[in-house]
Chain A
């Protein structure tokens, strides 16, 4: 089959179907009445829930922490206070990145060239990696919030060694993951293990698409 036959085949097959394809005036009327700023309505329920839950968590945390810092700073266990403060702070940063990503994607101009738009869009999707990296930084603080001054005074060397080793391990893991969770490592086994699951499919597809864009830009 030559080139022209192929194109004719494609054209004739579509012609028949396009004749039967109708977009009614009712459809266009309804679309043209959609508000431009319907960002919240466009969010998937799971994203909306994550965002609202995260905001509630961070908001409540900030209110409680502000109260503690202002009125009962001297009475509270400092290890607990600073561990919780870092956790809330890192969650707030992750939440901000998440919201920024959702808004920027929603308002992205889809009428620009395909490669340019897809590169922007998928780079934005990749900022999900930043959210994950920031959240992993919380790991060591989950091992320090229960520390107290009595523990340092009364525990023997072995008990302290085990406690510090656990914190050191989680600190190392957090920093290592923060540095290494990136696009370039997408094909590594450990990366696929972390990002294995249905909820990560869009992210993995974004990476695949970015790789395609890269190939298109560099291939001669």
Chain B
């Protein structure tokens, strides 16, 4: 793949699938600064892996793999690494301030629950919330479809218990 085509493909991927990076970063990083660094790291890894992209996989599967792998490994990076980063647009993340509704409360509960999960369980959780099929989740994680079903079942049970505990 020539450089110009690679660059064009990179821009297209980033524009069309930025939501994947954003959502993964949101689940793994609480602080906005860390989140921007994480997205930056994902972009660098996507760029470096682009020549290895194999179209037997869906683009979203490939991107989830990179984004999740980078996010899970991200704790290794220290603040000193920031000097090598190109700053992203400051206004990339905007949290709308709305009245606290029941929906918002539920969302807070959900996010709190997710933040307590271990790294690999978080990966399963985001793919489940994104409504991915068990087959696709298995392909992204590298496990069997039946194991995916078991894992999701267990996380859902924990989630249900958690919701009912807090609400009661």
Contact = CB atoms under 8 A, between A and B. Distances in A.
Interface stretch (A18-26, A75-83, A189-197): A18-26
Given A10-B110, A113-B141, A216-B147, A44 B75 contact: no
Contacts of B73: 118, 121
B125 to A, nearest CB: 10
Interface residues of A, number: 53
Contact of B141 (A14, A110, A115, A209): A115
A23 B43 contact: yes
A14 B26 contact: yes
B142 A9 contact: no
Interface stretch (A31-39, A57-65, A158-166): A31-39
B103 interface: yes
A1 interface: yes
A116 interface: yes
Interface residues of B, number: 66
Interface in B1-32: 3, 6-7, 10-11, 14-15, 18-19, 22-23, 26
Interface string A1-31: 1010011011101101110111111011111
Contacts of B147: 216, 219-220
B35 to A, nearest CB: 10
A114 B141 contact: yes
Given A10-B107, A18-B18, A31-B43, 12 more contacts: A13-B107, A18-B23, A21-B22, A21-B92, A32-B6, A32-B7, A36-B48, A42-B81, A109-B52, A111-B65, A113-B139, A114-B140
Interface of B: 3, 6-7, 10-11, 14-15, 18-19, 22-23, 26, 39, 43-45, 47-49, 52-53, 62, 65-66, 68-70, 72-73, 75-76, 78, 80-81, 84, 86, 88-89, 91-96, 103, 106-107, 110, 118-120, 123, 129-131, 139-143, 147, 150-151, 156, 159, 163
12 contacts: A17-B94, A18-B22, A23-B39, A27-B86, A27-B89, A31-B43, A41-B84, A110-B69, A114-B65, A114-B142, A115-B141, A219-B147
